[in-house]
Amino acid sequence: MHDIEPHFKWRDRYIASEDEQSPFHGRIYDEFTFTQKVYNYFIHPQWDEFGSQTLYMKILFVDYDEGYAIMEFIGEWNDALHNDIRFLKREIIDVMVAHDINKFILIAENVLNFHGDDNCYYEEWYDDIKEEGGWITFINILDHVEDELKDTQIQYYANFGAHFNEVNWRPHKPKSVFTAVEALVHGDVKRLV
């Protein structure tokens, strides 16, 4: 897992540690020391810790004018034991919502497992953004992770599923990814290929 690096091709457009409104503003990274782990596996030092013991993230892009954020995750999303959604909601999402971000694209292709508990934080997150036309979307999740999300009834507050798992986002610019995902949210099945 140590060689799985967060997507870096948009760094010419956005760097969370340089964004004064970002929860990660001022964070300094050591490229040579691997200290963070998902269980016994070291992960790349560019991933950001936000309170979870097994889940890490990277804010890849934020557009304050359009009100959206694209975030990538790695590890195990564990609400049952570690209440990861509480850390994500309080430490990251609440800060972003306060800066008028109401559309969230969560890239979850490196989320290995999801262990749900209840969906109260997801409901609160959705309630915080729905009045402004906001939404939450998981893209490219593994099949068993999707099943686990459904078992916790996250589908009532976030978009995910077949069409959202076919988004070929890496070769595209953030605006193109946002436009394609927003179209999927609104029922248009155009996809990035």
Asked, for residue 76, whether it belongs to a domain, the answer is yes
Task: Give the range of the structural domain holding residue 42, as residue numbers without chain letter.
Answer: 16-185
Residues 35-60, buried b or exposed e (16+ Cβ, 10 A)?
Answer: ebebeeeebbbbbbbbebebbbbbbb
Asked, for residue 115, whether it belongs to a domain, the answer is yes
**For residues 165 and 141, what is the distance between their CA atoms, to the nearest angstrom?**
6
- With tokens 């304050």, the residue in question is 64
Asked, for residue 22, whether it belongs to a domain, the answer is yes
Give pTM, 2 decimals.
0.94
Tokens of 163: 């069409």
Asked, for residue 55, whether it belongs to a domain, the answer is yes
Asked, for residue 54, whether it belongs to a domain, the answer is yes
Is the model's pLDDT at 12 over the cut of 80?
yes
Backbone angles phi, psi at 159, to 5 degrees: -90, 135
Which domain CATH number covers 171?
3.30.750.24
At 43 the pLDDT is 79
Asked, for residue 11, whether it belongs to a domain, the answer is no
Asked, for residue 90, whether it belongs to a domain, the answer is yes
Is the model's pLDDT at 168 over the cut of 60?
yes
**For residues 123 and 104, what is the distance between their CA atoms, to the nearest angstrom?**
14
102-112 pLDDT, tens per residue? 999 999 999 99
At 10 the pLDDT is 97
Beta bridge partners of 61: 70
Query: Which residue type, as a one-letter code, is found at position 141?
Result: I
DSSP string covering 17-85:
GG-TTSTTTT----SS----EETTEE--TTSBP-S-SSEEEEEEEEETTTTEEEEEEEEEEEHHHH-HH
| Portion of the chain with pLDDT greater than 90, in percent | 80
- With tokens 């995910």, the residue in question is 160
At 88 the pLDDT is 98
Asked, for residue 158, whether it belongs to a domain, the answer is yes
28-84 pLDDT, tens per residue? 887 777 667 778 777 778 888 999 989 999 999 999 999 999 999 999 999 999 999
Backbone angles phi, psi at 65, to 5 degrees: -70, -45
Judged by DSSP in three states, 154 sits in helix
At 1 the pLDDT is 57
Q: CB neighbours of 153 closer than 8 A, spacing ≥ 6?
A: 119
Mean residue pLDDT across the chain: 92
Number of structural domains the chain divides into: 1
Q: Does residue 125 contact residue 93 with C-beta atoms inside 8 Å?
A: yes
